[in-house]
Structure 1
Amino acid sequence: MRIGELSRRSGVSPRSLRYYEEQGLLASTRTAGGHREYGPLALERVDRIQCLFAAGLSSATIYALLPCIYAQERGDPAPDLLDNLCEERTRIAASIGQLQRSLSALDEVIDRARPSPAIAQGAASAE
């Protein structure tokens, strides 16, 4: 299938698909006219890439993980896969923790900046 069809079927823009190729995440062949042609498993691979990006992984990490994931699915040993996935999970958990601390800090600033209901009532009755 060509890039337009893969884009339409996957919901991923052609620009993103070209980026995936540049990063070594997705492969295509070229027609005599220079058009990209993707194999029958490209749609599944794009879906997998999208899932990994949604999980917060970088393209470099996805590049390292994809061969392990596919090796494991074929039944080949993939000893690095679990270690890599655990490292990524730890990184993501740390990011979530930092975001939660940031959210709490913002909530505190917002709460301090809002007038208390009693002050707001007093200001309204003074008008």
Structure 2
Amino acid sequence: MRIGELTRRTGVNERLLRYYEQQGLLQPERLPSGYRVYRESDVAAVNRIRSLLAAGLSTATIAQILPCLREEGERLVPTCPDLIAQLRAERERMTSAIEELETSRSLLDSVITAGLATTA
């Protein structure tokens, strides 16, 4: 299928599909004319990519772990032994980022509260 069909089937625009290709997440066949030809399996791959991006993973991380995932119904299941450790590390990175954001929000709340007290 060509890129327009993949766009229709996944809801992901052509520019983003090209970006996924640049990041190594998709590898469409190239015709001599330069047109991209996608496989049926690329529909599922794009959906997996979107799910992983929504989970907060970067495209670089997704490129590393995508070959180690398979779909079981609605779930993604790891197939490589070291993937769980890598995903745990990503989760810890996210947890740290959330904690830092919560600290920043708390500081901002203090500044706002102090500003309200001086203008009242």
TM over 0.5: yes
Q: What is the TM-score with the length of structure 2 in the denominator?
A: 0.84
Is 1:108 equivalent to 2:113 in the alignment?
no
Quick check: which one's strand share is greater?
2
TM (norm. structure 1) is 0.80
Alignment partner of 1:81 out of 80, 83, 97: 83
Distance 1:76 1:98 in 2: 29
Measure how far apart 1:24 and its partner are. 0.9
Structure 1 residue ranges, 4+ long, deviating more than 3 angstroms after superposition: none
Partner Cα distance (1:69, 1:62) in 2: 10
- In structure 1, stretches of 5+ residues that fail to align are 121-127
Structure number with larger C-alpha Rg: 1
Aligned twin of 2:2: 2
Structure-2 separation of matches of 1:50 and 1:76: 17
**Which amino acid in 2 is paired with 1:34?**
G
C-alpha distance 87-23 of structure 1, shift in aligned 2 (>3 A): same
Q: Which is richer in helix?
A: 1
Give the aligned residue type for 2:40. P
Over the aligned positions, Cα root-mean-square deviation in angstroms equals 2.5
What amino acid is the match of 2:52? Answer: L
Query: Which amino acid counterpart does residue 115 of structure 2 have in structure 1?
Result: A
Partner of 2:39: 39
Identity of aligned pairs, percent? 47
Aligned residues: 117
Shift of 1:92: 0.8
Q: Measured at CA, do residues 7 and 76 of structure 1 come closer, stay the same or move farther in structure 2, by a change above 3 Å?
A: closer
Tell me the CA shift for residue 28 of structure 1. 0.5
